[in-house]
Structure 1
Amino acid sequence: MHGDRMKKNIKVNYKSIFKYDDHHETVQFKSDGIYEKGFDKEKFTFYNNDQKIEIILKGKEMTLANGPSLLNLSYHRKIGNHYHTDYGMIELFTELITMEHDRYLKVKYILSDEHQQLSEVYVMMKYDFYGEENEAI
């Protein structure tokens, strides 16, 4: 085992905004979760109601699992992903535009189908280890 491995309980303040041509949708919630740091990656696991969400950061790449949907994001590279909708699974493409991370994760990515951009997505997540104050986004 590596000496820099860590697993801690966290409090998460999560917000995502999906911007479409004519409107936007916002998802915002607070949750308890687990933070794990390994040799070359960081992993956040938490829940929105009964829906499990995992965010894995590894260098300039990010994986976002939200229930049955799994999105792989990489800087300025379109990646095909299986995205769960009310109508079933569809293939959508993601492209990571920006990612900042220093106890506050800020991510912007583009979601598109094979023909056009569908939305710009902004994810903001503040996390604190238990015993530290959790500020609003």
Structure 2
Amino acid sequence: MQSRHVSRVISASPQSVYEFAANPDNLPSWASGLAQSDVTREGDTLWVESPMGRVSVRFVEPNEFGILDHDVTLPSGVSVTNPVRVMSHPDGAEIVFTVRQLDLTDDEFERDAVTVGEDLDRLRRLVEDLQR
């Protein structure tokens, strides 16, 4: 199994990037690889329609460290942990998403990494537009 760190630098404070990305209501606007519909809440669990079908998502508790790790439980019942960090960068903030191959073929892994990059590009545009 291999991992790939996909990151983007965002011209905004780490706090504003974290707050936007951590807000479940914002997921459909930037995280197409995860949320293609409005988010439904059941306690700490979020439900979304995704490219993989209806999935549940559980984020770590809100924190001051920029950690946005989340577990996605697929329709098959398999749970995947996705490490995500927002950190300070000389140009504002950097968000890093670790993509893990797990049971994916090389082509599927590559598509996942590309999708995450596109999602982070959308996040960057949205957050930077809010700063203007």
TM-score, length-scaled by structure 1: 0.43
Whichever of the two has the greater Rg, that structure is 1
Structure (1/2) with the larger strand percentage: 1
More helix by share: 2
**Larger relative CO (CA 8 A, sep 6+): 1 or 2?**
2
**TM-score, normalization by structure 2:** 0.44
